Amino acid sequence: MIISIASGKGGTGKTTVSTNLTLALGDRVELLDCDVEEPNAHLFLKPEIEQTRRVETPVPKVDLEKCTFCKKCQEICRFNALAVVGKQVLVFSELCHSCGGCMLVCPEKAISEVGRELGVLNFGNRDGIRFINGLMRVGEAMSPPLIKQVRANANPDKITLIDAPPGTSCPVIAAMNDTDFVLLVTEPTPFGLHDLKLAVEAVKLLGIPAGLVVNRADLGTDDVYRYAEQENLPILLSIPFDRRIAEAYSRGKLIVEEMPEWREKFVGLFEQIETIVNRSKAQLCANS
């Protein structure tokens, strides 16, 4: 089972929820930190990093000896990563989305692939809990290819938890797509609700069952609860605005370590998710 933890608004508590859920469930889970632009789950889970691997994405290289400057490569590229000017072909590899289209359409077979460094993958573990994160190269603009590489290393025999990046754009879709459940973490503020709505719409498009964690639940207004009811979004856990939680966080400690009674609450959160996922799978089978 794959569960992605997303939010819309940043800073609502995705990493708090994903790291605590991870530690509460123990070695039957693995945690993938897919917030590759600023991964931080390792600061709280504190895994021992055992291996670091550099990853690349293919981009075109043009052999000007073979090129006839027909511009077919330029025409097929949606992202304008190739420009044929006079007797030159400029490759803007930072715009390339690695589709391979230019290679396919080149009648002279003048295009081959070289690598553009995306960043690194770190593999580690904490008390038998598998941990992977991606760290994007400084200067790289596109995170989805790296997020996909983090996910490609998931172990299908484990429960996979994915700490998603904030927002609702391509990186978030890359982290949520093809998961069994999206756990949305929000806070009961107008900004939290505004971005939660965007995230909920994105999850609907992907057709994935979802549920809510309301963090700092005793702040703000009750609009988020009304919205959840309207949308039939189950609230699976509420985390209060508690000084002890804030203090633990500020020291890089997990709630389940500092306040052991929370372990059970996070296990309960998982059990509710499991029930929803099983129910929706049963429904899918019944419908097909």
Partner 1 sequence: MKVAITSKGVTLDSEVDPRFGRAPYIVVVDTETLEFEAVDNSSNVNAFKGAGIQAATTVCEKGAEVLMTGYCGPKAFATLEAGGVKVVDDVTGTIREAAELMKSGKVTYSTAANKEAHW
Q: Kindly state whether residue 1 participates in binding partner 1, applying the rule CB under 8 A.
A: no
Taking the complex as a whole, the smallest distance from the CB of residue 102 to partner 1 amounts, in Å, to: 13
d(CA 46, CA 124): 9
Our finding on whether 74 is near partner 1 (CB under 8 A) is yes
Does 68 engage in binding with partner 1 (CB under 8 A)? no
CB 42 within 8 Å of CB 20: no
Q: Does 83 bind partner 1 (CB under 8 A)?
A: yes
Stretch of residues binding partner 1 (CB under 8 A), selected from 8-16, 76-84, 126-134, 255-263: 76-84
Kindly report the backbone phi and psi dihedral angles of residue 180, in degrees, each rounded to the nearest multiple of 5, phi listed first. Answer: -90, -20
Contacts of 250 (CB under 8 A, 6+ apart): none
Per CB under 8 A, does 86 bind partner 1?
yes
Rounded CA gap, 1 and 133, in Å? 19
Question: Whose Cβ is closer to partner 1: residue 93's or residue 272's?
Answer: 93
- Cα dihedral 228, 231, 237, 240, rounded to 10, equals -20
Closer of 86 and 156 to partner 1 (Cβ) = 86
Mention every residue, 6+ apart, whose C-beta is less than 8 A from residue 161: 3, 4, 5, 18, 21, 22, 29, 30, 31, 32
Strand-pair partners of 184: 6, 212
Report the 10 Å Cβ neighbour count for 252.
12
Rounded Cα distance between 20 and 49, Å, is: 19
- CB closer to partner 1 out of 78 and 243: 78
Residue-wise burial string across 213-241, b where 16 or more C-beta atoms lie within 10 A, e elsewhere: bbbbbeebeeebbebbeeeebebbbebee
Does 85 contact partner 1 by CB under 8 A?
yes
- How many residues interact with partner 1 (rule CB under 8 A)? 14
Q: Which of 92, 178, 226, 271 binds partner 1 (CB under 8 A)?
A: 92
Q: How far is the CB of 80 from partner 1 (least distance, A)?
A: 3
Q: Which span sits near partner 1 by CB under 8 A: 21-29, 77-85, 204-212, 222-230?
A: 77-85
55 phi, psi to nearest 5 deg: -125, 150
Question: Does residue 88 bind partner 1 (CB under 8 A)?
Answer: yes
Interface with partner 1, residue 170, by CB under 8 A: no
Nearer to partner 1, 38 or 218 (CB): 38
Q: Is 84 in the site for partner 1 (CB under 8 A)?
A: yes
Q: Tell me the one-letter amino acid at 244.
A: R
Question: What residues numbered 121-150 form the site for partner 1, per CB under 8 A?
Answer: 141
* Residue list 235-254, contact with partner 1 (CB under 8 A): none
Near partner 1 by CB under 8 A: residue from 79, 218, 221, 264: 79
- At closest approach, how far in Å is the CB of 79 from partner 1? 5
Q: Is 90 in the site for partner 1 (CB under 8 A)?
A: yes
Q: Which residues bind partner 1 (CB under 8 A)?
A: 74, 78-81, 83-86, 88, 90, 92, 95, 141
